[in-house]
Amino acid sequence: MRTSPRSLILGLLLCLALSTAGYSSAYNARPKLVVIIVIDQFRGDYPERYRDQWGEGGFRLLLEHGADFTDCNYNYANTRTAPGHATLLTGAYSNGHGIMANEWWDAQKKATVAAADDDQTKLVGIPGGAPGASPHNLLADTLGDELKLATQGKSRVFGIALKDRASVLSAGFAADGAYWIDRATGVWITSTYYRNELPKWAQDFNSNKRAEKYLNQEWKDSNGNVLRTTKPVDGKAGNFYDLVGSTPLANDYEFEFARELTTYEKLGNGPATDLLIISLSANDILGHKVGPDSPEMQAMVLATDRQLAGFFEFLGHQIGLANTWIALSADHGIAPLPRVAAGLRLPAVNIPADKMRAQVNSGLSTRLSHPAEYVKQFDYPVAWLNPEAFAAVKVNEQDAERYVGDALKQAGLRSYYTRSQLERGDAPNTELGLKYLHSYSPLAGWYVLGVPPPFAIGFVGGTDHASPYNYDTHVPLAFYGLPFQAGTYRTHAEPVDLVATLASLLGINVPTHSIGRVLTEMLAPLRRGANSSGGGQERNSPTVEGRNFKPASEGFAPAEPKAARVSTTKLQMGGTR
């Protein structure tokens, strides 16, 4: 390894910093707060598409002053919200964390259950005592859980989203709180899994009727044209989630709550690094309706940019950006509107999934000479089976899933993978086969994962995500903070790398099932031997099988976590608040 003058200077600086700052407490040198922003439905090509339209301080903070991974893709097929959030925070795919869908058919309960539903809990913040939510279905722990373990609970961990699944599955088991909204009224709620009543500040937030001021608003584009209004129809009490949720006002509302939480919970002011995960749901609610190429989506994305800038500025004032690490990604991308893709002569189509399910059920009723609802639930292209119906005709799981898969193929799907097949690890040794192995979960009963043709959308209006194709798997992955070298990185990255990287830099264990790699190419270069008192660089070595990883430049040594510690310490001593 060569030794350049630059590395000598870095080494000297390191010695200096070590001698002055010392290591009085291991955690003094860590960031005060890690903020992970997950945009619900944000495709990986948007940052480039709108590059010339970003303002200062929002996406630009991450893309130009941070480390931007342009080629980050989920390596699984079930690109939905619950699996996406679970993947980002556990660093595992569904075969590790167990969440393979937003909801599935529960044969014991004879009901559809959602990924975060938990009958053992109750909602907190609204009257009625309805069943609440918890991470009980997660089979792996999260970054927040590992932070809690490493600090004996001193780190504080919170999740915020409009959707319960996004908030709860991100925050993990040991979180201090996960908050989401009551869809009808917009008030912030949680569940008895976390606490028996809302904290005072959240009660005040709700009782000040902050949700109401987002109703009866007009959302205008930059030319003053009204894109949508949040006026309840016919004077009826509106559904906050749909009305406000499909405008940028919903992200404003989330950030308003996030600021309040940060202030009142004193995030970044504790003895250990705190973690806040914010999932911005509005982008998805609108995106399904209008598609990725609409003027409304453009306006939404540009509004998100301004909202991020506002929140980052708040963090700067409140905690100091030198004391904060920010990471940004998304739970999935989105397909173009079939109408738009078909206009360009791509084979795109809207498929009425209800009809497809009816077709499969009537086909099987004929084949098995017994009319029944064999497919109980169909979230295109995934079918959940009714074990009871198959038991009545003495068909076992393996055969039942094959029958349904064949019927789905006849109805237009390209291919299929069954639950029992994936459980055996029986998939072809192809890129697609691996994606489906990663989509397996032992939860969720009997199911068949259909392989859709690209650009085929499982409902009649709008567009969707839930395919293994790159428009659904491609998401942004960007980091801002002292350890991250600004730059555009085109190396292979996956959402599972997010927590692997942060855990390594924080000096804590990665979550139980994490398979991510540490994104060493973006970490500050520090030469081995310049100061090797701490050792430990080896664990960052970029030797992950099957990844097309190349070091950013010749002679680049994997950064050791100390590089981050030292620079953070220096800046903290400078009193940036």
Q: Which residues lie near Zn ion (CB under 5 A)?
A: 284
| Least distance CB 332 / Zn ion (angstroms) | 7
Q: CA torsion sign, 95 to 96 to 99 to 101?
A: negative
β-bridge pairing 456-457 and 349-350: parallel
Closest distance of CB 292 from Zn ion, Å? 12
Closest Cα partner for 291 from 346, 225, 339? Answer: 339
- For the chain, the C-alpha Rg in angstroms (whole number) is 24
Residue nearer to Zn ion on the CB measure, 268 or 468: 468
Task: Give, in degrees to the nearest 5, the angle at Cα 138 between 134 and 144.
Answer: 80
Identity of the residue, 382 or 434, whose beta carbon is nearer to Zn ion in the bound complex: 382
| Least distance between Zn ion and beta carbon 39 (Å) | 11
Closest approach, Cβ 14 to Zn ion, in A, equals 46
Q: How far is the CB of 167 from Zn ion (least distance, A)?
A: 15
Q: Which is nearer to Zn ion, 118 or 284 (CB)?
A: 284
What's the closest the beta carbon of residue 355 comes to Zn ion, in angstroms?
21
What are the Cα distances from residue 375, in Å, to 3, 379, 384?
65, 11, 6
Give strand ranges (E) for 223-304.
226-229, 274-280
Q: Kindly state the helix (H) or strand (E) to which residue 9 belongs, with its residue range.
A: helix 5-21
Q: State which residue, 387 or 495, has the beta carbon closest to Zn ion.
A: 495
Residues 6+ apart with CB under 8 A from 46: 292, 301, 476
Query: Least separation, in Å, of the C-beta of 380 and Zn ion?
Result: 13
Nearest to 160, CA basis, from 145, 147, 176: 176
Nearer to Zn ion, 228 or 332 (CB): 332
> Which of 446, 430, 524 has the alpha carbon at shortest distance from 485?
524
SS3 181: strand
User: Measured from the CB of residue 102, what is the shortest distance to Zn ion in angstroms?
Assistant: 8
Nearest distance in Å: CB 446, Zn ion: 24
Rounded-to-integer distance, Cα 112 and Cα 261, Å: 33
Nearer to Zn ion, 292 or 511 (CB): 292
Of the two residues 241 and 479, which places its CB atom closer to Zn ion in the complex? 241
Diameter over CA atoms, the chain: 82
Q: Which residue in the shown chain puts its C-beta closest to Zn ion?
A: 284
Tell which residue, 352, 405, 411, 353, has the closest CA to residue 378: 353
Q: Kindly tell me which of 272 and 282 has the beta carbon lying closer to Zn ion.
A: 282
The amino acid that residue 6 corresponds to is R
Of the pair 142, 281, the CB lying nearest Zn ion is at 281
Return all residues near 100 (Cβ < 8 A) that are at least 6 apart: 78, 83, 94, 439, 440, 441, 443, 444, 447
Tokens at 105, concatenated: 């058919």
Pick the closer one to Zn ion by CB: 67 or 166.
166
Q: Which residue has the tokens 């806040």?
A: 276
Please answer whether residues 207 and 180 qualify as being in contact, where contact means their C-beta atoms are separated by less than 8 angstroms: no
Cα-to-chain-centroid distance, residue 184: 24
Residues 6+ apart with CB under 8 A from 75: 93, 434, 435, 438, 473, 494, 496
The dihedrals phi and psi of 457, each to the nearest 5 degrees, come to: -110, 135
- Is the Cα dihedral 424, 426, 430, 436 positive or negative? negative
CA distance linking residue 498 with residue 502, whole number of Å: 6
Nearer of residues 31 and 333 to Zn ion, judged by Cβ: 333
Q: Are strands 117-124 and 131-133 parallel, antiparallel or unpaired?
A: antiparallel
Distance CA 516, CA 523 (A): 16
Report, in Å, the least distance between residue 26 CB and Zn ion: 40
Question: Least Å distance between CB 463 and Zn ion?
Answer: 9
Nearer to Zn ion, 274 or 379 (CB): 379
| Smallest separation, CB 342 to Zn ion (Å) | 21
Minimal distance in Å, beta carbon 171 to Zn ion? 20
The least CB distance from residue 471 to Zn ion, in Å, is: 13
Of 183 and 570, which CB lies nearer to Zn ion in the complex structure? 183
Q: How far is CA 313 from CA 30, 58, 155, 294, 507, in A?
A: 20, 9, 23, 29, 27
Toward Zn ion, which CB reaches closer, 254 or 284?
Answer: 284
**Residue 511 beta carbon to Zn ion: minimum distance, rounded to whole angstroms:** 24
Q: Which is nearer to Zn ion, 281 or 418 (CB)?
A: 281
